[in-house]
């Protein structure tokens, strides 16, 4: 099962990185999410704004084909 609490902690560290309290945190966050064994995505305004490599593999599209071009299916 995926540990959502760990992801939330990473997000908090990522936000703190912008204030330079934890140097290198942003790169670590992107490395963990980017190389995850599960598909990760962010939706904003009904469009995918970020997808990781695994998400692209699962659905057979490139990053450029998905991000800012399509959104999740509507019910």
pLDDT digits (tens, 9 = 90+) for 5-54: 666 666 665 555 455 555 676 777 778 888 889 999 989 999 999 999 99
- Count of helices and strands (H, E) across the chain: 4, 2
**Residue 75 confidence (pLDDT) above 70:** yes
Extended beta strands in 1-75, E state: 41-44, 47-51
């Amino acid at each position: 099962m995926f540990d959502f609490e760990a992801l939330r902690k990473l997000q908090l560290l990522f936000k703190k990185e912008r204030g330079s309290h934890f140097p290198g945190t942003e790169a670590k966050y992107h490395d963990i999410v980017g190389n995850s064994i599960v598909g990760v995505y962010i939706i904003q305004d009904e469009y995918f704004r970020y997808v990781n490599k695994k998400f692209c593999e699962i659905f057979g599209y490139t990053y450029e084909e998905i991000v800012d071009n399509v959104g999740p299916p509507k019910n």
